[in-house]
Amino acid sequence: MEDIFESSLHLEETHFEEGYSDGYKHGLVIGKEEAQQVGLRVGFEAGEELGFYRGCIEVWNFAIRVDQTRFSDRIQKMIKQMEELVEKYPVFDPESESVQELMEALRLKFRAISATLGMKLEYNGYPKMGQDPKEMGF
């Protein structure tokens, strides 16, 4: 007698728990899909930017080998420093705390080098220096 009434007394609670459990399972699936997409996109963007800097460094290094006198000591030092930064970027550890810092430092070095070389080259993928990170929408 008690059992029959038990289930109808706790009806609301049961429904709630069922609904919660359904939602949670659904959320896990959707969340994972979304996270995967975001991860792929962010990873791609970071990789693209990093690749761009690597490419620039390779071209510059080649130019230096061709004619070293055209590049001052300071510029050569800066390019070397930029190269070190690219090497240091933790490509396999996206959750490392230094990713943001390293990318910022790379962007700064790139701006300084291109300003001195008089190049108007710009990487179109990243947000402008003066932009508030909160303004960026994903």
Task: Using CB under 8 A, pick the residue from 128, 135, 136, 138 that binds other proteins.
Answer: 128
d(CA 10, CA 78) in angstroms, rounded, equals 71
Nearest to 49 by CA among 120, 93, 104: 104
Size of the site for other proteins (CB under 8 A): 16
11 or 129: whose CB is closer to other proteins?
129
Cα 108 to Cα 112: distance, rounded to the nearest angstrom: 6
Q: Which of 3, 8, 12, 130 binds other proteins (CB under 8 A)?
A: 130
**Angle, CA 104 vertex, CA 138 and CA 115 arms, to 5°:** 115
- If one asks whether residue 111 binds other proteins (CB under 8 A), the answer comes out as yes
* 133 sits near other proteins (criterion: CB under 8 A): no
CB of 25 to other proteins, least distance (A): 44
**Residue choice 46, 64, 75, 103 for contact with other proteins (CB under 8 A):** 75
Q: List all residues 6 or more positions away from 5 whose beta carbon is below 8 Å from its beta carbon.
A: none
